[in-house]
């Protein structure tokens, strides 16, 4: 008789430990990535998010990732301190970041990828009003 309640208690503790672990893992890397395959004639673009949190977010409970788009294709959801490398073919691209809380705030920039391009590192951040923006980090 005691085996069933004891077994149930062990299962509950085990499942709660798994859910805590997966929640912490969720914020370690960007979600929903595109343009990550290194192909012939592609150039690397490093994208990283800084450590600024949206209002009311905590590092272990982020409800407001910055959504990153390349030419209207959603290329990733970035939580604080996430980074990845995209590989793009020579062309002009429009990069967009969105940050949706109560109202959706967006910013756009254009980037021209060419064979003479040096390493590009783009940083995603938010301003004091919670609006996302992109800037080119000079090496």
Domain locations in the chain? 30-137
Cα–Cα distance for residue pair 33/75, rounded to 1 Å: 5
Cα–Cα distance for residue pair 68/108, rounded to 1 Å: 10
Give 18-53 pLDDT, tens digit per residue: 444 445 567 777 766 666 667 777 889 999 999 999
In order of 62, 63, 67, 111, the CA distances from 102 in angstroms are: 15, 12, 15, 29
Q: Which two tokens stand for residue 92?
A: 């002009």
Report pTM: 0.74
Give 82-94 pLDDT, tens digit per residue: 999 999 999 999 9
- Between 3-7, 55-59, 88-92, 109-113, the lowest mean confidence (pLDDT) is in 3-7
* CATH class of this structure's domain 30-137: mainly beta
């Amino acid at each position: 008789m005691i085996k069933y309640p004891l077994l149930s208690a062990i299962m509950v503790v085990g499942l709660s430990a798994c859910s805590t672990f997966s929640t912490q893992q969720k914020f370690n890397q960007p979600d929903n990535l595109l343009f990550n395959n290194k192909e012939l004639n592609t150039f690397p673009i490093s994208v990283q998010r800084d450590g600024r949190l949206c209002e009311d977010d905590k590092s272990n409970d982020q409800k407001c990732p910055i959504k990153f788009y390349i030419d209207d294709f959603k290329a990733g959801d970035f939580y604080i301190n996430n980074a990845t490398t995209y590989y793009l073919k020579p062309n002009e691209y429009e990069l967009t970041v969105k940050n949706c809380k109560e109202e959706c705030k967006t910013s756009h920039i254009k980037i021209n990828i060419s064979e003479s391009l040096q390493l590009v590192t783009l940083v995603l951040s938010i301003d004091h009003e919670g609006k996302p923006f992109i800037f080119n980090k000079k090496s």
